[in-house]
Amino acid sequence: MSRPLDSAAATGTWTAGVAPGPAPGESPAQASAPISASAPGVAPQEAAQGRVTDHPAPAPNARGTLLATLVATFVALMVYTAPLLTVPTLSGTFHTSLSAQAWLLNGTPLGLAAVLLVAGGLADDFGRRRLFLIGTVGLAVTTALSALTDDTLLFTLTRVAQGAASAAILAASLGLIAHAFPAGPSRLRATGAWGAAVSGGIALGPLLAAALNGLGWRALYLVLGAAALGAGVYAARVLSESRAAHRARPDLPGAAALGLAFTALLTALTLGRNGWLAAPVLLLLAAMVVLLAVFALIERRSAAPLVDLGLLKHTPFQSSVLGALFTGIAVIGFFSYLPVVVEGVLHLSVFQTAWIVVLWAGTAAVVAYQAKRLHARFAVRHQMAAGFVLHAAGILTMLGAVGASSEARLLPGVFVAGLGSGLLNAALPRLSVESVPPQRAAMGSGANNTARYIGSSVGVALMLALVTSAGTTARGADTAIVVMAAVTLLGALLVLVLRGRRGDGPAGS
């Protein structure tokens, strides 16, 4: 059954997903000082000697847990970005139409978004380790199957299955991290490393695709399948099981309604390039609205909802979900389709295009890992807003670069956008687990990642529609840049406006 929002607050461990802030006139250090010598994670002899730490100690197997989750997340994100540089090759092999190219990129995000929420609940209720291992094995098998496909439909289906397997990995990962690392500096470091793994996987995926280009695109999926299997073998050795205190039945009807709503939206956006007011597009959008209403109704009546809708009343959770959604649309969506544009118009080699992606994602990985140093100085919402503003500034400097066929004019903007992406990748996983009660950590990460990958698919479909419906690719690229920059700045505005209300914790959270 659903756990009430105040279930942990009654013990003083959680209030609206945010730790209590300092009292007026009190420093953060004073506010975080232990109130007793018997705080969890503090050895009695340390307390007796006055060496009481401010935060509980990590679990004994915390390092192994972190490494296992980082490796599997890294591989999952490499699988996610695998087609970015191979869309022209795949389209030629499968004879894929221009409109259908979006599905080559959006298969995995579709699977991720459809399964992430139910995966979060399953991880909490039936075991995070168990679901994590199912995800790694599933990713290995489905990625290898991609190498055997011969048409767009079958390839897309295997990509959807890879997304479902990746959903199990990602949803369980942050739950495992939250269980192994109590709130405090150790969790900040762990979630920062996880954010860096996300960026690192995105960066290395295209580079691996370029390195294996001479062997054919099928070799890429065989290698990634083997990597996923290796990650699963290591995880089976080091992970310990953890789950919520009470089990509940998975909300499959809710997952189905949300997945169908997302599919309707994605199909409408894909068809929109042929006319946004066409009957099929309008019918699909209407179907999406109806399905979302059905989803909300199911969640309100479910004993174990995918998302506790009561969380939506709290601004930290709102910031987490909206921040992830806008990151998906304007950041991941933009850079997922940019390689298709520059490879086709600038006539860059696969390696040249790969290095553009590496510059963006590699910069993001470094910034995400180092961003833990910002925790004491900047509120999460300020960090997210800064990330959005940097991304918008970066992509706006790319205006005219495609029309001028200038790779050099792209690179400064790619770097600046990478700085912004790193700030976002560090802030979002931290906020996703801190904006929900501890026993709902996987639900929080599932909701955050679902919003991110729904956004990324919407962003890819929107990019394709904008780039290909403006007469020339150069004009379409500039239109897409302006639209995506506007969406990014809207995201920054929203996270700044969502200040914590009374009971939501510190306003800056």
CATH of the domain at 107: 1.20.1250.20
Residues 320, 367, single domain; the answer is yes
Residues 288, 340, single domain; the answer is no
Residues 211, 170, single domain; the answer is yes
Residues 158, 288, single domain; the answer is no
Tell me the residue type at 305.
P
> 497 or 4: which carries more pLDDT confidence?
497
Q: Is residue 460 part of a domain?
A: yes
- Residue at a domain's end among 238, 268, 300: 300
462-506 residue pLDDT tens = 888 888 876 788 888 899 999 999 999 999 999 888 765 444 443
Rounded CA-CA distance 9/19 in Å is 10
Q: Is residue 257 part of a domain?
A: yes
* Per-residue pLDDT at 315: 81
65-92 residue pLDDT tens = 999 999 999 999 999 888 888 888 888 8
Output the CA torsion sign for 8, 9, 13, 15. positive
7-59 residue pLDDT tens = 333 322 232 233 323 333 333 333 333 322 222 233 333 333 444 445 566 66
Q: Could you tell me which residues come within 8 angstroms of residue 160 by beta carbon, excluding any fewer than 6 positions away?
A: 107, 108, 110, 111, 114
Q: Is residue 36 part of a domain?
A: no
Residues 176, 132, single domain; the answer is yes
Token reading at 78: 């490499």
Residues 283, 194, single domain; the answer is no
Helix-then-strand count for the chain, H and E: 18, 0
Residues 152, 256, single domain; the answer is no
* Per-residue pLDDT at 7: 32
Q: Is residue 34 part of a domain?
A: no
Ranking 35-39, 94-98, 107-111, 171-175 by mean pLDDT, the lowest is 35-39
3-state secondary structure 275-306: CCCCHHHHHHHHHHHHHHHHHHHHHHHCCCCC
Q: Is residue 389 part of a domain?
A: yes
* Per-residue pLDDT at 412: 94
Q: Is residue 507 part of a domain?
A: no
Q: Helix (H, G, I), strand (E, B), or coil: what is residue 18?
A: strand
* Per-residue pLDDT at 395: 94
Residue 410 has pLDDT above 80, yes or no: yes
Residues 226, 293, single domain; the answer is no
**Mean pLDDT across the chain, nearest whole number?**
79
Quickly state the pLDDT bin for 5 (edges 50, 70, 90).
Answer: very low
450-465 residue pLDDT tens = 888 889 888 988 888 8
Residue 170 has pLDDT above 90, yes or no: no
Residues 311, 404, single domain; the answer is yes
Residues 464, 326, single domain; the answer is yes
213-268 residue pLDDT tens = 889 889 999 999 999 999 999 999 999 888 766 666 778 888 889 889 988 888 88
Residues 288, 245, single domain; the answer is no
Residues 82, 120, single domain; the answer is yes
Quickly state the pLDDT bin for 137 (edges 50, 70, 90).
Answer: very high
- Residue at a domain's end among 265, 300, 335: 300
Q: Look at the pTM and tell me if it is higher than 0.85.
A: no
Q: Is residue 293 part of a domain?
A: yes
> Helix, strand, coil proportions of the chain in percent (round to 5)?
75, 0, 25
Q: Is residue 82 part of a domain?
A: yes
Which range of residues forms the domain containing residue 286? 252-300
- Residue at a domain's end among 235, 266, 300: 300
- What mean pLDDT do residues 324-348 have? 87
* Per-residue pLDDT at 325: 93
Rounded CA-CA distance 190/308 in Å is 26
The count of domains in the chain is 2
Please state, for a pLDDT cut of 70, what percent of the chain lies above it: 83
Total count of residues recorded for the chain:
509
Rounded CA-CA distance 446/244 in Å is 15
* Per-residue pLDDT at 69: 94
